[in-house]
């Protein structure tokens, strides 16, 4: 899927940095291949659970000050989840009553007081633990004998009976084999009824069946054991854990088959998860309604009673009734249609040919139109002409994956559907992939950059048909097995199938941005324990996606031979086809192909948060390397207790550009000795390098003499590394300034865009801290550094994606800084665009800068009118972002309120609005007030089940940490910055 507490146990990452003297090794004498290790016995490997999911991107992930970061954290919260968060309400704690001690008591001894205090703390703690568990009434059978073990404590269901289960995870005693689902949505009343027949296999003797249900009104339930007659049963419900249960007086025996049939009704969800209602306005201005699903990770239970965990795979037979002028879609092809007596029709779909996890089930009722090839792309009728690019790209990518994995796509059909009102970027439902319109539709005048977005998302979701759908993680702690692989494969596939999209630049950028997140103490291990629904949903973040992809790239780059990694992937997919896996299953599959223990190198990259800082120091002709945890936060930091096995690549001054120049060794201990010029060739490794004062000076001189001595990727990684070290306090801004001097000659995209991003981040920080004079000097410095390159940019159509990226970044910066010629060009283009009545076009990569200039001038209302009429979604979203960039207080307040109202601006776009408003000097205080005033409504719209109003969520902790880091940077760097500028 494209796209977010309780404290987690992190015993693997609690110790401090290493302090031993560095070992020394001569790289020239070291082998460039890995040693062979004996195969790892699975029983010797401690299973380490895992982590989270995609935040809405572009919400200002960099340095912001206190007020802005408070605002920013809220924007992240809103964008963090494409589904509602559902859990029990928090029970308020009752006040404690203090009793005065008896005046007649003599003064106790110090020892007695200590013992009493300890006992009191234990009693109060136990009382609080029991009392604060959510919405539970507990019952407990007393022990018959003092020596007998305690009986489990069970909650009470809604009807007052004891509920037979007390854990988040379902019992393993019963497994579903198949679901037969009939759904009857009423799009006029926004309700639906359902009939669910679940055939199950009893694995262990049990007196109860426990499964999931949420917000479903169960009207009737029957149970049938083997060939016995079906009987009516009582369904118990425990809402805090979204579970239902059926209890039996006689044990169900292992090996038996049974059938549970449930009739139920519910409202279509008004949020973006479960079976939810959506709408759009057609070109005639008529409102059209539809219903769609979003089940990942925990929302299938909102549409039908089910075993809603990834490991409970089953087959599905789905039937949906609807009006005759609508169509229904599901995972499988339609088998037949039956006319019903009420004027509706009933579509029955083929039974799934594979066992599926519940989160991959999907169905849609809408009046969409398809275009077809060997697959189909669906959209609202008036956007049919925008589906061609996705259809062609998906067809090519599907062929690539079939060949690359050596496993044919296993279903009989594949549909890609653009949904007008969809919070996620996309969702990989097996055979029925759903998308935001901006992630799937491409207009006739779209830029190559917009095609890059669509191509990336399509490639990601198609990769999931193998990674995630065919082979699925056993539990959400290993979500990275789905998302990290799909992210890695989206870049791999596009490099091969759509090379014109220059996807390498994007992959480099997301790796660097992932490091910035992972450098925070609030980060988490790639595989980390999750015990609550909120923790499950938080797994969808940059660690699971981009860091997961990054460590796979690092592993692939470190392996000898061209096809070794691919062979390991194929082994993994074939070995576990249709099954559920853990992280070590992947390492073991790769080990079978590579014949050395991959787990030894990779396990620490997934079991502990963060990444290493490799420090380089000179001793005569030798170079020493040492490693430590790169962690930006100094307060209450939990440094990694283990060393990483780092596949260190390096190049030297005699050979630095070609792939064959790269040399490799493994840094497994605290330090080793190498001879080097530049480490981490093309930034394929997930680590940062500090070359020391002398080393940075040498690199700065080398770039100043001939910047093309290093690849574009290597120059980019140097810029990123030195800014990161500046934030850490390891280098001065003077050293940063020395390295950046060469940029006046730079013409490649990624070094320039990386430098612009870092410098603009500092400028925003100075602006928010009212350092206007210093900010003006920094503005002048940026414009002088890139002035010649800015002046060389044209304003017409260009084909190269890389050149579009470069032009967009340069001109957005120039116009933001009110550079005169940039403002004039943008205004002229906008004027011509407005006066042409739709006949003129603006190059896609220039739309954002042109719309920004319009929104920050007298043309804001004109742009708003254009926004209301725009039909092409990518262009419309750029207009919205520009409207939110206004510095006018009245306009800021209006667009924030309208985003919550959802009439002109879709509510799904509110995270984008808030994040953009926060970037402006005039906007961030208004946004912060707006968020505080409307927090409860925001919670209801985006994650209704959040406990304790979100204060413990990881993104909040991340925001608070970033605030402190920003303040620390200001405190430590202002003097150096003033001196340099």
**Three-state DSSP class for 337?**
strand
**Three-state DSSP class for 943?**
coil
Check 2, 309, 348, 461 and give the catalytic one. Answer: 461
The three-point CA angle 736-740-742 to 5° equals 150
Computed on alpha carbons and rounded to an integer, the radius of gyration of the chain in Å comes to 29
What are the tokens at 690? 């500090």
**Three-state DSSP class for 146?**
coil
**Is residue 529 annotated as part of the catalytic site, yes or no?**
no
* Exposed/middle/buried for residue 106 (C-beta within 10 Å: 0-12, 13-18, 19+): exposed
What are the tokens at 351? 């039974």
In contact, 494 and 456? CB cutoff 8 Å = yes
Please report, to the nearest 10 degrees, the dihedral formed by the alpha carbons of residues 204, 207, 209, 215 taken in order.
-160
Instruction: Please report, in angstroms and rounded to a whole number, the separation of the first and last CA atoms in the chain.
Output: 45
* 483 labelled ligand-binding: yes
What is the DSSP pairing of strand 415-419 with strand 376-379?
parallel
Q: What is the DSSP letter of 387?
A: -
* Exposed/middle/buried for residue 4 (C-beta within 10 Å: 0-12, 13-18, 19+): buried
* Exposed/middle/buried for residue 433 (C-beta within 10 Å: 0-12, 13-18, 19+): buried
Cis-peptide into 297, omega within 30 deg: yes
* Exposed/middle/buried for residue 152 (C-beta within 10 Å: 0-12, 13-18, 19+): exposed
In contact, 250 and 225? CB cutoff 8 Å = no
What are the tokens at 669? 């201990």
* 672 labelled ligand-binding: no
The CB density around residue 240, as the number of other CB atoms within 10 Å, is 16
* Exposed/middle/buried for residue 410 (C-beta within 10 Å: 0-12, 13-18, 19+): middle
Helix (H) or strand (E) segment spanning residue 127 = helix 110-132
In contact, 456 and 809? CB cutoff 8 Å = no
* 464 labelled ligand-binding: yes
Residue 212's region, left for phi above 0, alpha for psi from -120 to 50, else beta, is beta
The CA-atom distances, in angstroms, between 485 and each of 465, 668, 852 are 11, 25, 36
Question: What are 666's strand-pairing partners?
Answer: 647
In contact, 336 and 348? CB cutoff 8 Å = yes
Residue 902's region, left for phi above 0, alpha for psi from -120 to 50, else beta, is left
In contact, 592 and 571? CB cutoff 8 Å = yes
**Three-state DSSP class for 814?**
helix
Task: Describe the strand order of the beta sheet including 612-619 as a list of residue ranges.
Answer: 671-674, 622-629, 612-619, 688-690
Annotated binding-site residues read 460, 464, 483
Annotated binding-site residues for Zn(2+) read 460, 464, 483
Q: Which residues are catalytic?
A: 461
């Amino acid at each position: 899927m494209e796209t977010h507490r309780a404290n987690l146990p992190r015993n693997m990452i609690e110790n401090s940095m290493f302090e031993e003297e560095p070992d020394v090794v001569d790289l020239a004498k070291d082998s460039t291949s890995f040693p062979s290790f004996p195969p790892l016995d699975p029983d010797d490997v401690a299973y380490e659970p895992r982590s989270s999911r995609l935040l809405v991107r572009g919400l200002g992930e960099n340095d912001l000050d206190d007020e802005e970061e408070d605002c920013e954290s809220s924007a992240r919260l809103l964008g963090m989840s494409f589904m509602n968060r559902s859990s029990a309400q928090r029970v308020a704690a009752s006040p404690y009553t203090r009793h005065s001690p008896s005046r007649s008591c003599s003064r106790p001894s110090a020892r007695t007081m200590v013992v009493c205090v300890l006992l009191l703390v234990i009693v109060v703690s136990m009382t609080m633990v029991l009392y604060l568990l959510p919405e539970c009434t507990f019952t407990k059978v007393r022990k018959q004998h003092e020596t007998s073990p305690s009986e489990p404590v069970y909650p009470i269901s809604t009807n007052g009976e004891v509920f037979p289960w007390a854990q988040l995870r379902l019992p393993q005693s019963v497994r579903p084999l198949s679901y037969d689902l009939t759904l009857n949505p009423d799009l006029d009343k926004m309700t639906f009824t359902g009939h669910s027949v679940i055939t199950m296999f009893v694995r262990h003797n049990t007196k109860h069946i426990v499964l999931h249900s949420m917000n479903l009104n169960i009207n009737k339930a029957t149970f049938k054991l083997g060939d016995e007659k079906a009987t009516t049963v009582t369904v118990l419900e425990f809402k805090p854990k979204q579970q239902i249960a059926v209890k039996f007086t006689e044990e169900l025996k292992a090996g038996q088959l049974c059938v549970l049939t449930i009739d139920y009704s519910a409202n279509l969800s008004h949020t973006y998860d479960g079976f939810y209602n959506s709408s759009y306005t057609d070109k005639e201005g008529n409102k059209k309604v539809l219903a769609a699903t979003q089940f990942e990770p925990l929302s299938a239970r909102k549409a039908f009673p089910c075993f809603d965990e990834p490991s409970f795979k089953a087959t599905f037979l789905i039937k949906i009734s609807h009006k005759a002028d609508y169509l229904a879609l599901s995972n499988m092809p339609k088998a037949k249609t039956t006319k019903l007596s009420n004027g509706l029709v009933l579509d029955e779909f083929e039974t799934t040919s594979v066992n599926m996890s519940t989160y991959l089930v999907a169905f849609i009722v809408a009046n969409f139109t398809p275009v077809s090839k060997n697959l189909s792309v669906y959209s609202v009728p008036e956007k049919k002409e925008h589906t061609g690019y996705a259809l062609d790209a998906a067809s090519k990518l599907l062929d690539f994956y079939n060949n690359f994995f050596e496993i044919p796509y296993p279903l009989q059909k594949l549909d890609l559907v653009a949904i007008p009102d969809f919070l996620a970027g996309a969702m990989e439902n097996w055979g029925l992939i759903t998308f935001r319109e901006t992630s799937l539709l491409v207009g006739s005048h779209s830029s190559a950059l917009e095609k890059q977005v669509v191509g990336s998302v399509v490639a990601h979701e198609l990769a999931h048909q193998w990674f995630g759908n065919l082979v699925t993680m056993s539990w959400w702690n290993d979500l990275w097995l789905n998302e990290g692989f799909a992210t890695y494969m989206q870049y791999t596939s596009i490099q091969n199938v759509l090379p014109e999209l220059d996807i390498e630049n994007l992959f480099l950028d997301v790796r660097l941005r992932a490091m910035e997140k992972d450098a925070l103490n609030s980060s988490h291990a790639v595989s980390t324990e999750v015990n609550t629904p909120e923790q499950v949903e938080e797994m969808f973040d940059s660690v699971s996606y981009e860091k997961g992809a990054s460590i796979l790239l690092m592993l692939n780059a470190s392996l000898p031979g061209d096809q070794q990694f691919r062979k390991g992937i194929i082994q993994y997919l074939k070995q576990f086809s249709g099954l559920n896996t853990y992280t070590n299953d992947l390492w073991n599959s790769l080990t079978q192909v590579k014949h050395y223990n991959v787990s030894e190198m990779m396990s620490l990259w997934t079991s502990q948060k963060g990444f290493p800082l490799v420090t380089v120091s000179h001793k005569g002709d030798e170079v020493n390397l040492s490693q430590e945890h790169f962690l930006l936060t100094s307060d209450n930091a939990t440094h990694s207790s283990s060393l990483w096995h780092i596949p260190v690549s390096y190049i030297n001054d005699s050979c630095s550009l070609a792939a064959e120049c790269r040399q490799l060794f493994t840094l497994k201990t605290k330090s080793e000795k190498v001879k080097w010029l530049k480490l981490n060739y093309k930034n394929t490794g997930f680590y940062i390098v500090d070359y020391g004062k002398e080393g940075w000076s040498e690199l700065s001189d080398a770039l100043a003499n001939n910047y093309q001595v290093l690849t574009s990727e290597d120059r980019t990684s140097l810029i990123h590394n030195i800014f990161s070290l500046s934030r850490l306090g390891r280098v001065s801004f003077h050293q940063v300034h020395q390295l950046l001097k060469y940029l006046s000659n730079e013409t490649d995209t990624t070094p320039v865009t990386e430098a612009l991003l870092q410098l603009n981040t500092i400028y925003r920080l100075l602006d928010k801290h009212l350092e206007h004079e210093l900010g003006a000097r920094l503005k002048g410095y940026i414009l002088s550094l890139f002035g010649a390159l800015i002046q060389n940019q044209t304003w017409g159509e260009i084909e190269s994606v890389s050149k579009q990226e470069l032009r967009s970044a340069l001109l957005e910066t120039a116009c933001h800084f009110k550079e005169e010629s940039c403002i004039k060009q943008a205004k002229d283009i906008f004027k011509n665009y407005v006066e042409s009545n739709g006949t003129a076009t603006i190059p896609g990569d220039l739309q954002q800068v042109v719309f920004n200039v319009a929104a920050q001038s007298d043309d804001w209302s004109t742009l708003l009118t254009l926004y209301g009429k725009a039909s092409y979604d990518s262009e419309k979203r750029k207009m919205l972002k520009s409207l939110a960039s206004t510095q006018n207080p009245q306009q800021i307040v209006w667009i924030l309120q309208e985003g919550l109202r959802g009439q002109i601006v879709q509510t799904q776009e509110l995270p984008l609005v808030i994040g953009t408003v926060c970037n402006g000097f005039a906007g961030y205080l208004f946004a912060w007030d707006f968020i505080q005033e409307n927090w409860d409504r925001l919670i209801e719209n985006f994650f209704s089940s959040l406990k304790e109003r979100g204060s413990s969520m990881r993104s909040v902790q991340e925001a608070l940490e970033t605030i402190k880091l920003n303040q620390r940077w200001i405190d430590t760097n202002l003097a150096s910055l003033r001196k340099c500028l």
